[in-house]
Amino acid sequence: MNMGPIEINRTALIAIAKQPFIDWLHAVDPSGGEVDLRTVNQEPSVYLVPVFDSDEDFREWFGQHCEIIFEEQLAGWWTDQRSWPPNRGIEVFEEWFEWYRHSMVWDLGDEPI
């Protein structure tokens, strides 16, 4: 029996592609010309990350971990790492993706996480 929503001790980070990501994708895969922002962002990636006490703490963590998220985004569309941008730090990530952070994450499932 479901007892109602349970708050999860995580923050959701949602990554939404911007035009530079699409431009890169078309450059590495010319056959994918029909892929556009709408297609890529139809189901954006959601990452569960730690909860932080402040925006500064989150920003520091994100700066240290955004390369992992960046690589996951790239690998979802193109796996040849030789074609990936060499700089996958936070500055380039923010040029290629919008991201949103949501602090309230609820579990409505009956199964353990």
Domain ranges of the chain: 8-107
pTM confidence score:
0.86
- Is the predicted pLDDT of residue 112 greater than 70, yes or no? yes
- Is the predicted pLDDT of residue 1 greater than 70, yes or no? no
Q: Dump pLDDT digits (tens) for 48-71.
A: 999 999 999 999 999 999 999 999
* 11-28: average pLDDT: 96
Closest Cα to residue 48, out of 4, 97, 9, 74?
9
Token readout for 24 is 């890169």
CA distances from residue 39 to 2, 16, 20 in whole angstroms, order as listed: 35, 11, 15
Mean pLDDT across the chain, nearest whole number?
92
